[in-house]
Amino acid sequence: MSADYAIRPLTPEEVRTAVDWAANEGWNPGLSDRPCFLSVDAEGFWGGFLKGELIATISIVNYDELFAFLGFYIVHPDFRGRGYGLRLWQAAIGHAGDRLIGLDGVQEERENYAKSGFRLAYRNIRFGGPIQRALHALPDGVEATELDVLSTEAEQFDRAVFPAPRADFLNHWLNAKGHVARSLHQNGDLHGYGVIRPCRSGYKIGPLLAKSPDVARKIAGALLGAVPAADRDQDVFLDVPEPNGAAAAIAGGMGLKPVFETARMYTGPAPEIAVDRIFGVTTFELG
């Protein structure tokens, strides 16, 4: 290992490079992801620098005193297999302290994550396919409400499906450039909400949270209906937790096909969250 290898938190501009690398890996980040990610933990993104050049990245984002999420673990292809990534991992993971850490890792790295104490909870499966086909399979004319401020009701809804409070992140997520959010109320009560955003390729729906499959389908239809007509020849992607069979059935009914999957893993027992309400994961990078 070179003595010229240095590890430190990334600047906001350097995080842009991490997002570009994620795109090169085929992870298809959203066009406005970076500022939203930085809103959670400004010092949660780390880099390994060889002679001043960024060659490896990782994020260890602390949501609160109990939970953190790991992502963006990437070593530039020219420097893989030399131990730079492991050294960065070992240095950066201390940023989480004693917090429970979650991640969505590529399947081929599961054994390596297990060596660091991560346990498999379940798989997340990314479905993708044409927007137009999906729209034809979903309800139209749904009177969903535009959501641009995270209400107390919506925050409580989210807390049932995520291991930590994340109101600041979600408010950024709802209002980021290009993002569209819709919620659905029935008899005066919130029954679900979702966000759709433009990505390097097509659009992604996430989160998609609902009390029932019927509500999830209605919200998905409202979100896709908000995509500009000029963009409807593109694809849409939806990341669903495998334990929620209804979510996978909705994706299949939309004409979407599995294109990628991750392993949701934690450093301890999996948190008790309402997976049956998660019809679309917010983002593989931050949970």
Mean pLDDT of 89-99: 95
Work out how many domains the chain is built from and give that number: 2
The answer, yes or no, to whether residue 174 has pLDDT greater than 70, is: yes
- What is the domain range of residue 84? 5-104
Token pair for 177 = 């450039």
Q: What is the pLDDT of residue 147?
A: 77
- Model pTM score: 0.94
- Please check whether residue 74 lies inside any domain of the structure: yes
Q: What residues contact residue 175 under an 8 Å CB cut-off, 6+ apart?
A: 148
Q: In terms of domains, do 138 and 272 share one?
A: yes
Q: What is the CATH number of the domain that holds 212?
A: 3.40.630.90
Percent of all residues in the chain with a pLDDT value above 90, rounded to a whole number? 90
Q: What is the CATH number of the domain that holds 10?
A: 3.40.630.30
Q: What's the pLDDT tens digit per position in 118-151? A: 999 999 999 999 999 999 999 887 777 887 667 8
Mean pLDDT of 218-241: 97
Q: In terms of domains, do 134 and 230 share one?
A: yes
Q: In terms of domains, do 146 and 30 share one?
A: no
Split at pLDDT 50, 70, 90, the class of 3 is: confident
Q: What is the pLDDT of residue 2?
A: 64
Q: In terms of domains, do 82 and 159 share one?
A: no
The answer, yes or no, to whether residue 68 has pLDDT greater than 90, is: yes
- Please check whether residue 53 lies inside any domain of the structure: yes
- Please check whether residue 184 lies inside any domain of the structure: yes
Q: In terms of domains, do 98 and 134 share one?
A: no
